[in-house]
Structure 1
Amino acid sequence: MDSSQRVRAILSFVQAAQSGSFAAAARSLGISSAAVSKNVASLEQGLGVRLMNRTTRSLKLTAEGLAFLEQARIALDALDAAVDTVAAQRVVPAGRVRISTSAAFGRDQVMPALPGLLERHPALSVEVDFDDRRVDLVQEGYDLAVRGGQLVDSALVSRLICRLNMVLIASPAYLARYGVPRTPQDLPQHRLIARRFLGGRLSPWCFRLADGSLDEREPAPAVITVSAPEALAQAALAGLGIAQVGIHHAWPHLRAGSLKVVLADCHHPGTYEMALQYPHRALLAPRVRATVDYLLEAFARDEALHVPLTALRAFTA
């Protein structure tokens, strides 16, 4: 007897024992009396003992039947409790949520959102890994990831957070010393700050030409090259040169006056996006659904993630 047949047989036995007849058990289960009788007989044969004595008028449990009924009720109660627990989580999300995010976005955007998430859903616990490499969500056991770049993974559900627009910035002190570049052709005479991706490739800078085409070039020669995007803004703040950064990294420094935008009229902001991703699933766990919904709300309220390009004019050198 396989597991599904065993479960049907146990349900037939318990219903027959509780109702006192195969006919009553059949009505409760929505099957025929013959099917109930066959299920109980199969259970007895599998156990090798008689569980109940039948007459045309009544059923009477044997000693073995009484003992088995007691244990079967415990098992069925446990199944009911498991169903109730999962059903309750649709109302009160509970359990651990594993999140993968980059170091910079995790520190500046994800972490500030977590207190509100845990206040709204106190039965949740959150585990966050800060890792700039591309992770395999399913293979490595993550519930969701916050990723930036050019996202093409169709095996995942992607919920857009924002366009990840890039901007060229430098400190007022650097510009006072070395001058303000007016065209991309001026850049080779400037000190440039480059970012190297984990794969070794430099992050290119892109400019719009007069004919509408795009000119993509590496920032070379670079006075300093870093791998962390937030380090680009730090280097520019220190007056080391001109850097290309995500606007969300530069925004508070632009508003404070400690950085200025350069070449805004011809610099192309790129085609990068920031998205929240999770595996395709027919039924998304309530704990994950609640986390996804809350983070998207929090990111929508984050001013630095939604700065319009037109707003940069006020901060141009």
Structure 2
Amino acid sequence: MEALNLLESFIQSAHAGSFSEAARRLGLTPAAVSKNVARLESQLGLRLFQRSTRSLTLTEGGRQFLQSVGEPFADLQDAIAHAAQQDGEPSGTLRVSVAVAFGRDYLVPMLGGFLQRYPAIVPDWQFDNRPADLIQGGFDAAIGGGIELTQGVIARQLAQVHGVVAAAPAYLSTHAAPSHPAELAQHDGIVRRSGSTGRLRAWVLHDRAGRQVQAECRTRLVFDDPDAMAHAAMLGYGVALLPLPHAARWLQEGRLVRLLPGWYTDFGPLSLYYPHKKLLPRSTQVFIEYIVQAFREQRLAARFDAR
């Protein structure tokens, strides 16, 4: 097992780009990780990294060695984990990446039943609005949208997410509700900036007849977080184009009013992402099954559909 520990320190350091980050992922000290890599280099007779005070980069030999051992090592880890759980209950740490507000409002409430059913699994979740890199980040799964399907990543769609134009009753008490998307030009808008591109997102609206309109509003506020946009809209600051996962609750409670009810935008699929492995760990398998069942039982796909 010593050889596996040395390899794991090398692979995690290569993916993380630093001994400190690799140590955090492995639960070791940076000194221990550095020592493991040095021992591996000594055994191989090959320098794997170029080290400096600010960076850690693979040598050409290190890059070729990583390509050779990365996938076989992952398969071996999976085989060990799979064998260890064959005769027992699913166990271990479950690393999942989820968006902040969506995870808090929809996924955290699902955890109660999951913890009761699988007491030996310890969820270790990262809440981040940026799309996760499952492979580099060492995640078992991620839930969200817009994650790039790189080699070795599978996406299982949970719902199609639509967005609606909404405003607070207080705002509508002093502004006439639009009857057509073109009339949004007369309204103050709470606009979203894309975290990945830095650009303002266009308001492209569709109706059930298949017509498409690019609407314009007077940009009053610019946020990069849809949950913050929903709260700003509830305070009467303007109209906002909101994904239904962030708006459904407030629409139901009457704190927001849907405008242009025949029109909506398509934000794309909400999916559960996980690594493509021959032997998926049992903890990941049961998590996937549990989330898919919970979405079905709570009819969340219908809740996020604006048609």
Same fold (TM over 0.5): yes
Letter in 2 for 1:157: I
- 1:129 equivalent in structure 2: 126
**C-alpha distance in 2, partners of 1:264/1:149?**
26
- 1:62 equivalent in structure 2: none
User: 1:102: Cα distance to partner?
Assistant: 0.9
**C-alpha distance in 1, partners of 2:101/2:210?**
33
Give the TM-score of the pair, scaled to structure 2: 0.67
Structure 2: unaligned runs, 5 residues or longer: 4-78
Does structure 1 retain, via aligned residues, the 8 Å contact 2:159–2:300?
no
User: 1:306: Cα distance to partner?
Assistant: 2.3
Of residues 235, 238, 242, the one that matches 2:239 is 242
Deviations 1:16-73 (A, max 9, x none): xxxxxxxxxxxxxxxxxxxxxxxxxxxxxxxxxxxxxxxxxxxxxxxxxxxxxxxxxx
Of residues 80, 104, 116, the one that matches 2:113 is 116
Of residues 90, 94, 97, the one that matches 2:94 is 97
Does structure 2 retain, via aligned residues, the 8 Å contact 1:196–1:226?
yes
Of residues 201, 204, 207, the one that matches 2:205 is 207
**C-alpha distance in 1, partners of 2:81/2:180?**
66
Letter in 1 for 2:130: R
Structure 1: unaligned runs, 5 residues or longer: 4-81, 311-317
User: 1:230: Cα distance to partner?
Assistant: 0.7
Letter in 2 for 1:176: S
Letter in 1 for 2:145: G
**C-alpha distance in 2, partners of 1:197/1:250?**
18
Of residues 153, 175, 180, the one that matches 2:177 is 180
Give the TM-score of the pair, scaled to structure 1: 0.65
Pair 138,153 (structure 1): closer, same or farther in 2 beyond 3 Å: closer
User: 1:170: Cα distance to partner?
Assistant: 0.8
**C-alpha distance in 1, partners of 2:210/2:124?**
46
CA RMSD for the aligned pairs?
2.7
Of residues 209, 216, 224, the one that matches 2:221 is 224
Deviations 1:240-260 (A, max 9, x none): 111111112211221222211
State, as a whole percentage, how many aligned pairs show the same letter: 32
Pair 256,148 (structure 1): closer, same or farther in 2 beyond 3 Å: same
Does structure 2 retain, via aligned residues, the 8 Å contact 1:106–1:130?
yes
Structure 1 or 2, whichever has the larger Rg, is 1
Pair 151,180 (structure 1): closer, same or farther in 2 beyond 3 Å: farther
- 2:289 equivalent in structure 1: 293
Pair 242,160 (structure 1): closer, same or farther in 2 beyond 3 Å: same
**C-alpha distance in 2, partners of 1:110/1:133?**
17
Does structure 2 retain, via aligned residues, the 8 Å contact 1:170–1:243?
yes
Letter in 2 for 1:286: R
**C-alpha distance in 2, partners of 1:84/1:206?**
47
After TM superposition, the structure 1 = structure 2 runs for residues 20-169 of structure 1, keeping only pairs within 5 Å, are 86-89=83-86, 91-149=88-146, 153=150, 155-169=152-166
User: 1:231: Cα distance to partner?
Assistant: 1.0
**C-alpha distance in 1, partners of 2:139/2:193?**
27
Quick check: 1:251 aligned with 2:248? yes
**C-alpha distance in 2, partners of 1:275/1:294?**
14
| SS across alignment from 2:278 | coil
